[in-house]
Chains A and B, each alone.
Chain A
Amino acid sequence: MDQTLVAALARAAGLEKALADHPEDVAAAAAQAQLQAGTIAFPTDPAAEPWPPMQAGDRL
């Protein structure tokens, strides 16, 4: 991931302090998230629902 984008996303997430003190950890975290998301075959069928189910059940 582009490091300028990583820094912008980190600031948007409120991680200014981590970005200043631990920039290599912020970069590693971003790379990890990107790698994992890129590995998943996300469902393409709009009817594919998540688990846990988005239903009320018998109590809230």
Chain B
Amino acid sequence: MTELHWLSAGEAARAIAERRLSPVELMQSLLERIGRIDPRINAFIRLDADAALAAARAAEAEIAAGRIRGPLHGVPVGIKDIIDVAGLPTTCHSKILVDNVAGTDAEVVSRLRGAGAIVLGKLSTHEFAIGGPSFDLPFPPARNPWNRDHHPGGSSSGSGAGVAAGLFPIALGTDTGGSVRNPASACGIVGLKPTYGLVSRRGVFPLSYTLDHVGPMTRTVADNALLLNVIAGHDAADPASAPGPAGPFDHLLDRGIGDLRIGFVQHFHQTDLVSDAEVTAALDQVALALREQGARVRPVALPSLTEFAAVNRIILTSEAWSIHAPWLRSRPGDYGQLSRRRLMAGAFVSAGDYVGAQRRRKEMIAAVQDTFRDVDILLCASSMEPASAIENAEATARTYPRQARTPFNVTGHPALAMMSGLSRNGLPLSVQFVGRYFEDSTVLRAAAAWERASGGPKHPPIE
């Protein structure tokens, strides 16, 4: 049998439901691993071990009595610390909110509990999902389990590091400019930013109202679809929530891709931001593998990454300023320097530029929508190089913006990042799949095809 810490959520849930695996045994195994490994990678801000173990015992008793709550009954999950879990602080990794205890669960946490998942604790993030990796915050930054000297991406950094290191099989992250897909790329896991409006943001500390998404982070594509099945769906209390039914998202994973038309956005990594040679080679390998499975792959063009990034930042900083202005005025020294600089930028954006960016955004959406008339999936880079050394602030500042994730926060299309290979120095490389609105299942289908071709998930050498 697979070691317990490398079980997928789906495998664990099936074994628990069939009483081949005790949720208590699984939880104890993961808590032992967390105790051994987490001090080296700092995935957790707060581990809620006693409550998690008590929940595992309760799950065991319920299942023994024949009551299966849902598809994740007894499965541990980690929660990014900008998402509310009742009774635990939502610190946003910041001194500003270090004592901010949540009164109720976020909608996504409530849905996880309804499906039987067990919350292990709160996970490291960049401060307020924007300022990091930083060493001037109340908690240390998460580190990359493939190489502790490197960053794990962000802002959902603890989610990425912990899933990759086998501390928990699934986690929630959030994505405003790529913050689910960046750690998925850096840590070699699967991270999906769903279609805007598909997953509720209620109970999630906002960064930017029109760009924020909550997304699943997992080691396998099937787990990603399983987690999305649980968290997706209309929430009348979230003004951005899309009406109507959602899912299922796991019904196309084995269907093959012989009928898919794939647009390869090569200019993102060939001319807009020239990628590392290993990233380029890995992307070409993905395209080849998809062709070999019958997909038709051809180049397509979108607006430039540089302009997508600028539109994202003008909107993000304007909306974030409206949230953070009171604290930036009264407590600027309580922010880390990266957050302070990035959030204060909103004070210098004119109202005209903000609305202008939203108008340009509509044109960019139209450009992507036009492309989806001729293709079913977009294939493109995620990060332009593997993760840099975490203590090299210059390298991190230079390489963090070298990515192709922000376009799909601007447009709201579903976008998934996953491993495309390993670099010569043993760090994950990444690829991104993008789909039409509410066709998240097709994105997962393309990702599953690449997962099969690549031989499945790889685990970091950390024990």
Contacts and interface: CB of A to CB of B under 8 A. Distances in A.
Interface string B295-315: 000000000001101110110
Contact of A15 (B332, B342, B358, B359): B332
A33 B332 contact: no
Interface string B334-347: 00010011111111
Interface stretch (B158-166, B360-368, B381-389): B360-368
B355 interface: yes
Contacts of A50: 355, 358-359, 361-362
Interface string B122-133: 000000000000
Interface in A11-60: 13-18, 21-22, 25-26, 28-30, 32-37, 39-43, 48-52
B228 to A, nearest CB: 23
Interface residues of A, number: 33
Interface residues of B, number: 38
B199 interface: no
B341 A32 contact: yes
Interface in B193-243: 210
Contacts, number: 117
A13 B325 contact: yes
B348 A34 contact: yes
B210 A49 contact: no
B258 interface: no
* Interface-centre pick from B306, B313, B350 (highest chain A CB count, 10 A): B313
Contacts of A22: 332-333, 337, 340
B358 A51 contact: yes
A1 B325 CA distance: 21
B348 A30 contact: yes
B94 interface: no
A33 B349 CA distance: 6
A40 B341 contact: no
Q: Which of A10, A14, A48, A51 has the most CB of B within 10 A?
A: A51
Contact of B359 (A6, A32, A42): A42
Given A36-B313, A37-B353, A50-B359, 5 more contacts: A13-B325, A17-B329, A17-B332, A33-B347, A51-B361
Interface of B: 210, 306-307, 309-311, 313-314, 317, 325, 328-330, 332-333, 337, 340-350, 353, 355-363, 365
Interface of A: 1, 6, 9-10, 13-18, 21-22, 25-26, 28-30, 32-37, 39-43, 48-52
